Amino acid sequence: MKRGILVSQFSTLENYFTEKREAHLEELKQFLRIPSISSLSEHKEDMQKGAQWLADSLSKAGLENVIVDKTSGHPVVYADWLHAEGKPTMLIYGHYDVQPVDPLNLWETEPFEPQVRDNKLYARGSSDDKGQVFMHVKAIEALLQTVGTLPVNVKLLIEGEEEVGSPNLEEYIENNKEKLAADVIVISDTGLQGPGQPAVCYGLRGLCGVQIDVKGAKSDLHSGLYGGGVQNSIHALVSILDSFRDAEGTIEVEGFYDNVRPLLEEEQEAYKALGFDEEELKKEVGVNELFGEKGYSHLERVWVRPTLEINGVFGGFSGEGIKTVLPSEAGAKITCRLVPDQDPDEIVTKLRAHIEKNKPVGVTVTVTEFDKGKPFITPFDHPAIQAAGRSYEKVYNVPTAYTRGGGSIPIVAAFDEILGLPVVLMGFGLSTENFHAPNEHFHLENFDQGLRVIGDYYYELAGLSKEDLKK
C-alpha cells in the first residue's frame, strides 16, 4: 500500500467488518424489507419509512445534521460529518428507492423477504442501490467506531426518486448549493467490469431525441387510384430516416461530431487492455456480425462515440396480409446518445436542420423534442479517479478498469453542471445481478471487499488537496 489508509488502521477496519458481518447483513435486510417503490403511489408511506430507516441508520453510524428533507416528490435524506479540518469534502450520492417487482411470479423468493443463497443476497434493491448505499454508511460507522474519526469531510445525499428519473433532485441541488458544496462526488450505483474485475466509471453518455411525424395526403388513399402520383408518407419518412446514417455507421447530420472530445491515447490503451470479447457479445445478443461506426472497437462505439438510433417506426397498415393503402401519416422516434462535449440542445438543432434539408416534397414534417440529458466526464487522469482505481487494486489485487458507460444518468450530469465537481462512479454491482428484473441479488464478496475499498478510498482522498481535486 503506497498511499491511503495505514496498514494498522486497515487491519483494524478489516477485523471490524469481519466481526460485524452478520449484524450488518441483518441490518441491511431490515432496509431491504421496506418496499420503497417510488413509481407506485400505493408505496408512498413505504418511501417515508425507507427514508426514516436510513436517517436512523446514519445517526447511529455517527453522522450529524441528519434530516429527512421534503421535496415535491419523495423525500431526500441528508447527513454530514465535517470535522476533518482542511481536508477535502466528499458528497456521496445514492438512492433508497427501488424498481417495481412485477412479474412477481418469476421471483424465486419474495422480493421484500431478503434471503442469502450461495453467498448472494436476494432482494429488490440489494444491488440497486440500497446495498451500495448501506456500504458507505457502514464504512463511515466502522471508521468512527475504530479510528474514532474520518480522514475527510463527508456529506450524504440519498434520494428517493432515482428510479423515476429524479424529477425533483435538480431543483433540490439548486436550492441547496451551499449545503451540498464539496470537492468530489462519489456514487456507488454502477458495477464492476466483471467478477473480480474492479472498474471506475469516469464518463457517461448523454441523451436527446425527437419524434418525426410525416403527413402527406389528408387521409389514406387507394394505392390503385393514386399510387405513383401522390407522395407516400412512409416513403418520405424512410428517406429522412435513411439519410441520418451512412452504410458504414457514420452519422451524416451536419456538424454532429463537431464537439466530440477526442479519445486520449491512454484511454484507448486502457480499453484495449480490457480484452473485451466481441465473440461473446455476438453470442449474447444473437447476431452473426456486430455493426457500428467504422474504425472503432465495440467498447469505443458504446462508450465514447455518439449514436443516433431509431427506437420506433410506425405508419400505414401493419395487420395480417395486404392492404393497398397509400398512407397519409407515418412517424418515427429517434434518440442520440451523446458524448463529451456534445450539447443536447445543439444536437437537436442540428437534427432539425437535417430533417428540414432532407424533407421530400409533398409532405409536411413535424418534429417534437424529448427530454434531454447532458453527457458527463471526469477526466481519465483526474486524481480522484486514479485514487479510486488504487483503492480497488489494493483490495481486489488486479488492475482496475477505467471505463465509461454507454447509458445516461441525467442526474450525474446535473451534479457536474450545478456543482462543477468531479464525479467518481465506483460501483460494486455486477451486470448479471438482475437489477430492474426479478431475482435481483448482490454478490456478498463484493459487499465484503467493497466495504474495504470504500474505507481505503476515504483515506486516498484525504491524501489529496482541495487543489488537486479541482476539475
Output 342 or 408, the one with its CB closest to a copy of itself: 408
Amino acid at the residue 55: A
- Is residue 156 near a copy of itself by the rule CB under 8 A? no
Contacts of 71 (CB under 8 A, 6+ apart): 161, 168, 169, 171, 172
3-class DSSP state of 297: coil
Of 35-43, 304-312, 344-352, 381-389: span binding a copy of itself (CB under 8 A): 304-312
Contacts of 16 (CB under 8 A, 6+ apart): 142, 145, 146
> For cell 397519409, what's the residue?
328
Binding mask 366-385 for a copy of itself (x = CB under 8 A): ----xx--------------
Output 135 or 212, the one with its CB closest to a copy of itself: 212
From the list 334, 369, 343, 340, the residue with the least C-alpha distance to 243 is 334
Minimum gap (Å) between residue 183 Cβ and a copy of itself? 29
Integer CA distances (angstroms), 55 to 66, 76, 168, 301, 396, in order: 6, 10, 19, 41, 31
Minimum gap (Å) between residue 464 Cβ and a copy of itself? 31
Interacting residue with a copy of itself among 325, 439, 468, 471 (CB under 8 A): 325
Output 2 or 218, the one with its CB closest to a copy of itself: 218
Of 126-134, 143-151, 169-177, 218-226: span binding a copy of itself (CB under 8 A): 218-226
Output 155 or 205, the one with its CB closest to a copy of itself: 205
- Is residue 146 near a copy of itself by the rule CB under 8 A? no
3-class DSSP state of 55: helix
Minimum gap (Å) between residue 421 Cβ and a copy of itself? 23
Integer CA distances (angstroms), 232 to 33, 70, 321, in order: 56, 53, 19
Q: How many CB atoms lie within 10 A of CB 82?
A: 14
Q: Are 206 and 374 in contact (CB under 8 A)?
A: yes
Of 88-96, 187-195, 298-306, 347-355: span binding a copy of itself (CB under 8 A): 298-306
- Is residue 412 near a copy of itself by the rule CB under 8 A? no
Output 103 or 228, the one with its CB closest to a copy of itself: 228
Minimum gap (Å) between residue 137 Cβ and a copy of itself? 29
Output 48 or 276, the one with its CB closest to a copy of itself: 276
Output 20 or 298, the one with its CB closest to a copy of itself: 298
How big is the CA angle at 91 (ends 87 and 93), to the nearest 5 degrees?
Answer: 160
- Is residue 439 near a copy of itself by the rule CB under 8 A? no
Minimum gap (Å) between residue 102 Cβ and a copy of itself? 17
Q: Are 290 and 314 in contact (CB under 8 A)?
A: no
> For cell 433540490, what's the residue?
172
Integer CA distances (angstroms), 147 to 112, 169, 309, in order: 35, 34, 52
Q: How many CB atoms lie within 10 A of CB 319?
A: 6
- Is residue 317 near a copy of itself by the rule CB under 8 A? yes
- Is residue 470 near a copy of itself by the rule CB under 8 A? no
Tell me the C-alpha distance between 173 and 180, whole Å. Answer: 7
Minimum gap (Å) between residue 261 Cβ and a copy of itself? 16
**Binders of a copy of itself in range 59-118 (CB under 8 A):** none
Tell me the C-alpha distance between 97 and 374, whole Å. Answer: 23
Output 56 or 309, the one with its CB closest to a copy of itself: 309
Binding mask 219-258 for a copy of itself (x = CB under 8 A): x-xxxxxxxxxxxx-xx-xxx-xxx-x-x-x---------
Tell me the C-alpha distance between 422 and 376, whole Å. Answer: 10
- Quick one: cell of 79? 447527513
- Is residue 287 near a copy of itself by the rule CB under 8 A? yes
Minimum gap (Å) between residue 436 Cβ and a copy of itself? 10
- Is residue 425 near a copy of itself by the rule CB under 8 A? no
Minimum gap (Å) between residue 301 Cβ and a copy of itself? 4
Interacting residue with a copy of itself among 188, 190, 307, 400 (CB under 8 A): 307
Amino acid at the residue 48: Q
Q: Are 142 and 135 in contact (CB under 8 A)?
A: no
Element (H, E) at 207: strand 206-215
Of 55-63, 156-164, 278-286, 441-449: span binding a copy of itself (CB under 8 A): 278-286
Output 5 or 365, the one with its CB closest to a copy of itself: 365
Q: Are 433 and 59 in contact (CB under 8 A)?
A: no
Tell me the C-alpha distance between 276 and 457, whole Å. Answer: 27
Binding mask 338-367 for a copy of itself (x = CB under 8 A): ----------------------xxxx----
